Amino acid sequence: MRISTTQLFTQSVDAMLEKQRQVSETELQVASGKRILRPSDDPSAAVRVLDLDEVQQRLAQYQRNADAATARLDQEETALLSVENLLQRVRELAVQGANGTLSTNDRRAIAAEVREHMQSFLELANSRDANGEYLFSGFQSLTEPLSHDGAGTFTYSGDTGQRTLKIGDTREVAVGDPGTIFMDFAAAGGGTTNVGEVLYDLAANLEAGSAYPDAITDIDTAFAQLFDTRARIGARMNAIDDQKQANDAFDLATAQVKSTLEDLDYAEAISRFNQQLAALQASQQAFIRIQDLSLFNFL
């Protein structure tokens, strides 16, 4: 079979272009550190890498949720601790006000401080988070939870819902408590009362020049209820920490599997690059020799 000069040139150029493509591809692999540059390089591995990417993105979202949950629970815990400290001070004032040696003016002075603490309690119960949402309104996060009519009636306008955040594939955590924790607990004198009413009634009695012994019992009841709530918050925060550690471990395992699928073996790649470069240089030298294979050179 007779081979034309044009065919020889075409075959040689095609061979060099293929060698250049191989060298260029290996060079890109070495530069990126990735074995798979496009899905066609390894279709099955590429699909698994995409699945693992999705897993890592989901884990990253869980970690962001966990951080947001921790921040919100920390704000709630701080607010409740402030209310507890406030109630502890009011209890001391109630004990002081029960002293039979005090004059009416003395009790009125104590009542003035109690009313200041009552106002502080109202502000704490209406605390907002970093997004401007109320901490203690349940699902009604844009509704001010607690209001006072100025005559001793405190009204809760939120609901009993608890917002949750997903921090794992099968794990959700409550990120708040409704303002009902301040309301409707058993009163020493019978029936129910709430923190605001206890403070108001204590101040009103002291202003009238009389002690209010029931306030001490009611404050202790409220204090116990708030303490239980803070204990539950602490348990949730511990659960979040545990889940974050589990998420980190799972993310590390996922990254290791992903690495085995897509990361480049540098030693093998550099060896292959040198072989391909040598082959390209050889094909270039062969092309130079083929250019001289013409009958006109022998005439």
Q: Which of 177, 167, 176, 165 is closest to 72 using CA atoms? A: 176
Q: Where are the beta strands (DSSP E) in the chain?
A: 146-148, 154-156, 164-168, 171-174, 185-186, 192-193
User: Which token pair is 197?
Assistant: 């009413």
Ordered per-residue pLDDT tens for the chain, 299 residues: 455 556 656 666 666 666 666 666 766 767 666 766 666 667 887 888 888 889 999 999 999 999 999 999 999 999 999 999 999 999 999 999 988 888 889 999 999 999 999 999 999 999 999 889 999 999 999 999 999 999 999 999 999 999 999 999 999 999 999 999 999 999 998 999 999 999 999 999 999 988 888 999 999 999 999 999 999 999 999 999 999 999 999 999 998 888 777 766 566 667 766 676 666 666 666 666 666 655 445 45
114 vs 94: CA distance, rounded Å: 9
User: Mind giving me the DSSP string for 147-170?
Assistant: EE-SSS-EEE-S-S---EEEEETT
Q: Do the beta carbons of residue 250 and residue 59 sit within 8 Å?
A: yes
Q: CA–CA separation, 36 vs 274, rounded Å?
A: 20
Name the residue type at position 147.
Answer: S
Q: For each of the domains in the chain, give its residue range(s) and CATH number, in order of start.
A: 53-256 (1.20.1330.10)
Strands 171-174 vs 164-168: parallel, antiparallel or unpaired:
antiparallel
